[in-house]
């Protein structure tokens, strides 16, 4: 295994996530100021007893089998058990070549590293399972990238992110073994994963692989429904980027949807719009089918039948969770006929008016029922003003207010309070990340730090965030920003 390739001595620009360092890695923040720590998180130093590893996997990329892949620029540097008894796998991303670099230099650039550092933490604080980021080190080392694959190769700065997760195993970890007929290793790996990460599955049970598959199907449906509920599009939902533990991993060209659009694609490399936000649930089904195929060599005919039935249940699992989440976003209690129609009606109006997804739901959380009933939308509710221009908006408001009356033992203040706990005021919109990246490229990490603070409490109003425009319409300069796979 190739060791990490140290960044240059000029790599002293450092961003930290205090919560990860203190609560997960049991480190006092003062440790981050030491040379030992900086050398560790930049790949210059290896901990005593650590043997850096890279992960071998395969995958279906954009629907096509891409054969063997693997971590080409990420080194697993150890597993740490913290004082709570939790095991966390520590990985350096952008730390140099591994056996799977496929002619690449093994580096990550600053722009993608800032986005992963902020994005993974934003997703975590929205209550969605994800890998975490502990530190970001930036260097003056030069890397060359064709960002939009248009022949325009430019010099960029290298960076390394220390990221942690309970596990980095993904669907592609099993696919590669099944593809090459390494069935003994496949069985050994599966039993290890079940033993370590699936306590509800009995590793001694003959149906353990079917039980494992059932959990993954259910939790994948849950994860993608959560993504959708906050307008998050992963961008590259290949099987090699889908965690077996159903956590969000491998932040590439992700994006939080601004104007509501089921065809929203954050990744400009996705010409076929395969991974548009409205197709993520279907892609989940595709990926789980590939997982089922990887498990098939270990299953008898009856178990294969059971696995097929489990997979058939995935759409119902997804839509049940989707409905629950969007009902909560609208403050609806109990079950009423027509709830799905009410949600679909609103999303239709949002699509037709290009209303801001995050702020429409947030402002519905803040506006009073009397203001809605009078169709008196104050100026500060700019997203609702956008949607109110549709001729059918009054009809939707009438249906919504009628439905709210059926909430048992509820009040308008309780509704608003409840809705504000599930509808964030701030998400990491593309323009916010871009603004932080541009400053970081000038060695100004002030906005990275500001966004860290704001995104740690996305449901609470912050005066500094309001001043920065994080709850305002997208600025005109950012209308045509693009993000690609190149990093």
Of the ranges 3-7, 299-303, 428-432, which one carries the lowest mean pLDDT score?
Answer: 3-7
**Amino acid 487: pLDDT:** 62
Q: How distant is the alpha carbon of residue 356 from its chain centre?
A: 20
Q: Write down the domain spans for the chain.
A: 13-165, 171-324, 333-419, 430-478
**Amino acid 2: pLDDT:** 62
What lies within 8 Å, CB to CB, of 85 at 6+ separation is: none
Is the pLDDT assigned to residue 366 strictly greater than 70?
yes
**Amino acid 51: pLDDT:** 86
Q: Which of helix, strand or coil describes residue 259?
A: strand
d(CA 26, CA 317): 37
334: left (phi over 0), alpha (psi -120 to 50) or beta: left
| 5: confidence class by pLDDT, cuts 50, 70, 90 | confident
pLDDT tens digit sequence for 178-195: 999 999 999 999 999 999
The DSSP code for 367 is S
**Amino acid 144: pLDDT:** 78
Is the pLDDT assigned to residue 196 strictly greater than 90?
yes
| 480: confidence class by pLDDT, cuts 50, 70, 90 | confident
Give the residue-averaged pLDDT of 298-326.
Answer: 98
d(CA 132, CA 476): 32
**Percentage with pLDDT > 70 across the chain:** 97
Only one residue has tokens 């693997």, namely 70
Evaluate whether 74 touches 133 at the Cβ level (below 8 Å): no
Of the ranges 156-160, 215-219, 224-228, 305-309, which one carries the lowest mean pLDDT score?
Answer: 156-160
What lies within 8 Å, CB to CB, of 420 at 6+ separation is: 362, 365, 366, 459
Given the residues 71, 240, 270, 356, select the one marked as catalytic: 240
Helix, strand, coil fractions of the chain, as percent rounded to 5 = 45, 15, 40
pLDDT tens digit sequence for 132-160: 999 999 988 888 777 766 678 888 888 99
Evaluate whether 247 touches 166 at the Cβ level (below 8 Å): yes
pLDDT tens digit sequence for 27-54: 999 998 898 898 899 888 888 788 899 9
d(CA 170, CA 172): 5
**Amino acid 483: pLDDT:** 83
**Amino acid 160: pLDDT:** 93
Query: Is 240 labeled as catalytic in the residue annotation?
Result: yes
């Amino acid at each position: 295994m190739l060791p990490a390739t140290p960044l240059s001595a000029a790599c002293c620009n450092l961003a930290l996530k205090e919560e990860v360092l203190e609560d997960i890695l049991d480190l006092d923040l003062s440790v981050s100021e030491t040379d030992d720590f900086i050398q560790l998180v930049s790949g210059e130093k290896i901990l005593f007893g650590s043997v850096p590893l890279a992960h071998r996997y395969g995958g279906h990329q954009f629907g096509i089998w891409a054969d063997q892949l693997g971590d080409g620029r990420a080194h697993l540097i150890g597993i740490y058990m913290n004082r709570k008894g939790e095991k966390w796998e520590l990985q350096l991303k952008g730390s140099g070549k591994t056996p799977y670099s496929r002619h690449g230099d093994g580096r990550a650039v600053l722009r993608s590293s800032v986005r992963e550092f902020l994005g993974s933490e934003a997703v975590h604080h929205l209550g969605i399972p994800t890998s975490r980021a502990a530190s970001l080190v930036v260097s003056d080392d030069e890397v060359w990238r064709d960002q939009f694959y248009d022949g325009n190769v430019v010099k960029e700065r290298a960076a390394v992110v220390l990221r942690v997760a309970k596990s980095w195993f993904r669907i592609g970890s099993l696919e590669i073994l099944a593809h090459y007929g390494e069935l003994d290793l496949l069985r050994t790996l599966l039993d290890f994963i079940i033993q370590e990460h699936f306590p509800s599955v009995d590793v001694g049970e003959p149906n353990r692989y079917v039980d494992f598959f059932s959990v993954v199907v259910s939790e994948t449906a849950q994860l993608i429904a959560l993504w959708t509920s906050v307008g998050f599009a992963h961008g590259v939902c290949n099987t090699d980027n889908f965690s077996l533990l159903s956590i969000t991993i491998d932040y590439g060209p992700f994006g939080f949807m601004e104007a509501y659009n089921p065809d929203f694609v954050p990744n400009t490399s996705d010409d076929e719009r395969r991974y548009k936000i409205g197709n993520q649930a279907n892609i989940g089904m595709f990926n789980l089918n590939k997982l089922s195929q990887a498990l098939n060599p270990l299953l008898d005919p009856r178990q294969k039948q059971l696995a097929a039935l489990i997979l058939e249940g995935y759409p119902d699992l997804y839509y049940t969770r989707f409905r629950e989440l969007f009902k909560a976003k609208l403050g609806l209690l109990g079950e009423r006929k027509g709830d799905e129609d009410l949600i679909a009606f609103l999303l239709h109006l949002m699509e037709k008016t290009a209303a801001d997804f995050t702020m429409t739901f947030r402002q519905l959380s803040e506006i009073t029922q009397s203001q809605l009933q009078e169709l008196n939308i104050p100026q500060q509710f700019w997203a609702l003003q956008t949607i109110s221009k549709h001729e059918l908006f009054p009809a939707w408001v009438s249906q919504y207010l009628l439905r709210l009356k059926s909430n048992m033992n509820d009040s308008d203040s309780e509704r608003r309070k409840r809705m504000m706990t599930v509808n964030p005021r701030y998400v990491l919109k593309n323009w916010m990340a871009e603004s932080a990246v541009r400053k970081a490229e000038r060695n100004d990490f002030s906005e990275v730090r500001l966004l860290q603070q704001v995104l740690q409490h996305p449901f609470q109003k912050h005066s500094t965030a309001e001043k920065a425009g994080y709850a305002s319409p997208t600025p005109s300069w950012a209308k045509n920003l693009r993000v690609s796979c190149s990093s």
